[in-house]
Structure 1
Amino acid sequence: MKNTFFTLFILSASLTLYSQQHSATKADFSRPKKLKDYQLVWHDEFNKKGKPDVKYWAYETGFKRNNELQWYQAKNASCKNGILTITALKEKVKNPNYDVNSKDWRENRAFGDYTSASINTRGLKSWKYGRFEVRARIDSAKGSWPAIWTLGNKERWPANGEIDIMEFYIKNNRQSILANAAHLGINSEAKWNSKVLPITYFLEKDPKWLEKFHIWRMDWDEEAIKIYLDDELINDISITNTNNPDGFNPFHQEHYILLNLAIGGENGGDPSLSKFPMTYEVDYVRVYQKNN
């Protein structure tokens, strides 16, 4: 009897572990959880087939920032089986804005050698304060630069404020997870508060970390921005003294959400030897705010 009980116990534990590991690699179709003292004010579970919902998401097009290599286009973002997938491809695309005499890198490239997608809720959905949760899985190939971030509605960057709930790129010659915020400092330059953790920090705890979805979370109120990864606090940023030189605090205004997969550029690394397509998968985006 003892041996039978022990065998059943081991079998049950093994099945539970398998279930947990298997679910970590799949879409989560469960209802958004209820949180004490919070209400769910908006979410997108991406439980549809085709393009992201146009009521919530708009697209960036073309070359945009950081000398990145990708040409952003809408067709590289699609939903299927409960997952938004942003796909980066190694393909040549003609730059319709090409000007051989331009000094702007966005215009003096005749072609882009890579394509990807960047979607955002600008002008459609924005929030001031709250808990933001995003379940996502990233691609660690060299050159991959996925992000979950927000920008303020008012002022131009960096005066509008930027919050990077997640970035993944090469920092200090190591592939790293970053959690940052920036506002306008002196001399019209961005003033950053950054936390950098090498990807090896997570792989040492779980060698299969990159195969799984993870939950990035931001808790944001009038005093601080706290960024978590799987409930581990990554960065705690006080915003009581993050005023721009003109006195405007960009973290006391509404922000909108961006999801994108950049390639190369100033931080992504050289993708020329990497395997394509690269994918960045997002299971859901949820925004909670405190009850009045």
Structure 2
Amino acid sequence: PNPGFESGDADWKKSRKQADYTSSSINTRGKFDFQYGLVEVRAKIDTTLGLWPAIWTLGIKNPWPSNGEIDIMEYYRVKGEATILANAAWADESKRAKWDEAKVPFSEFLKLDPYWPAKFHVWRMEWTEGFIKLYLDEELLNEVDLTETINPDGFNPFHQPHYILLNLAIGGNGGDPSASVFPSEYLVDYVRVYQKNENY
């Protein structure tokens, strides 16, 4: 049941009596944040139509997109084609998201390994003051030059602490889930953050 249901409301969040699907999202906001370092996540994602798993970070200061978003991993449909993404976003002059995107068709991974969806994979982010590098199983997917990620007010959202989010969305960019078999699993083995100890 939708606890916020209001009959006749135009907002889709209120106009539905019940949810057709449930999903989950966890994040470390207010519990753990970090600035620069190396993040590794070992996970197995479900690549079924309708699913939209992600590993990402958001800056602790300013509203989106001025706070900065780093998509260590997103998996969804781009023009109907299953795609792995590695992105960063910040604000443009109109306060909309400006993206540095890498979009790799999922078919490229299946050509190399038809059993890819059944396996765990390691996503890694290397983050310094000068760049963000995003990897999948040691393959560099995207390198973001942080001299170019400055909001119109001069604030660079990638020179501030970020917190981590892991989620599995359903529908939206993931495609139509109505013919997919549920329940679905997004299995996370570990999330690790490494930083240099300046005392050594």
TM-score by length of 2: 0.96
SS in 2 for 1:241: coil
Question: What amino acid is aligned across from residue 281 of structure 1 in structure 2?
Answer: L
Matched, 1:232 2:139: yes
Distance in 2 of aligned mates of 1:104 and 1:162: 26
User: Which residue matches 2:96?
Assistant: 189
Distance in 2 of aligned mates of 1:100 and 1:163: 38
Q: Which has the larger radius of gyration?
A: 1
SS in 2 for 1:290: coil
User: Which residue matches 2:73?
Assistant: 166
User: Which residue matches 2:191?
Assistant: 285
SS in 2 for 1:113: coil
User: Which residue matches 1:270?
Assistant: 176
Q: How do 1:116-265 residues align onto structure 2 when only pairs under 5 Å count?
A: 116-265=23-172
Question: What amino acid is aligned across from residue 280 of structure 1 in structure 2?
Answer: Y
| Contact in 1 for aligned 2:45/2:53 (Cα 8 Å) | yes
User: Which residue matches 2:21?
Assistant: 114
Question: What amino acid is aligned across from residue 46 of structure 2 in structure 1?
Answer: D
| Contact in 1 for aligned 2:80/2:175 (Cα 8 Å) | no
What is the CA distance between 1:235 and its match in structure 2? 0.3
Q: Deviations over 1:198-257 (max 9, x none)?
A: 111111111111110000000001111100000100000111121111111110000000
What is the CA distance between 1:168 and its match in structure 2? 0.4
Distance in 2 of aligned mates of 1:103 and 1:130: 44
Q: Deviations over 1:170-225 (max 9, x none)?
A: 01321010001101112121101110111111111111111100000000011111
SS in 2 for 1:115: coil
Question: Which structure would you say has the larger RCO, counting Cα contacts within 8 Å and 6 or more residues apart?
Answer: 2
Total equivalences in the alignment: 198
Question: What amino acid is aligned across from residue 252 of structure 1 in structure 2?
Answer: H
| Contact in 1 for aligned 2:41/2:123 (Cα 8 Å) | yes
Distance in 1 of aligned mates of 2:155 and 2:3: 38
What is the CA distance between 1:290 and its match in structure 2? 2.0
Decide which structure has greater helix share.
1
**Segments of 4+ moved more than 2 angstroms:** 99-110
Question: What amino acid is aligned across from residue 111 of structure 1 in structure 2?
Answer: Q
CA RMSD of aligned residues (A): 1.1
